[in-house]
Amino acid sequence: MGNEFHIRRCYFCGETCEDVLEEHHIVPRSLGIPYATETITVCANCHKKLHKIYRVLFSYIEDKYNIKLRMNKERELEEQYELQSQLQIHSFVEARKRIETVAKIINELIEKNGDRPVPVEMVFKEAEKKGIPRERTEKILNMLLEKASIYQPSPNTIMKVY
């Protein structure tokens, strides 16, 4: 430095012997914080003691870091669960919509046909037009038949229960 007033000394004990003076990084470089570059001058003896304290201190910080990781993991799981239940609700709503659509189709066909039984095939066709595949319509139809608002006078036709 060339500054005669600047004397390096140990931050803790005041030791000035250059042979034993070292620089200690206040924030350990192992933490990888690029702007935390500040150092203090310490003698080798105090440096050793300081690192003993740091080991305890930073194991505590590491522990907190691990807890944070664990908490993030848990939050992740919670979010996954939340998403899953939203998907379940979504598919439930979609299923309900399909049931309502098929029920509406049946009602309309029954009304149109008057006293004549409605061919099941017509229900399938109309449902297909609305994007509901045959096997889904079949299941919904069976469900509606069980609820007794409609019945099958013959295997391939349906009628309303009065």
- For residue 140, the SS3 value is helix
Dihedral (CA of 76, 77, 78, 83) sign = positive
- Give the integer Cα–Cα distance in Å for 24 and 31: 14
Given the rule CB under 5 A, which of 4-12, 31-39, 61-69, 154-162 is the region that contacts Zn ion? 4-12
Residue 98 near Zn ion by CB under 5 A: no
Residue 17 near Zn ion by CB under 5 A: no
- For Zn ion, the binding residue among 21, 24, 123, 132 (CB under 5 A) is 24
Question: Please, which residues have CB within 8 angstroms of residue 47's CB and are 6 or more apart in sequence?
Answer: 22, 24
Given the rule CB under 5 A, which of 17-25, 33-41, 86-94, 118-126 is the region that contacts Zn ion? 17-25
Convert residues 36-65 into a mask of x (bound to Zn ion by CB under 5 A) and - (unbound). Answer: -------x--x-------------------
Strand partners, 101: none
23, 28, 40, 68, 157 from 34: Cα distances, Å: 17, 10, 17, 22, 77
Residue 12 near Zn ion by CB under 5 A: yes
Give whichever of 42 and 141 is closer to Zn ion, judged by the CB atom.
Answer: 42
Which residues are near Zn ion by CB under 5 A? 10, 12-13, 15, 24, 43, 46
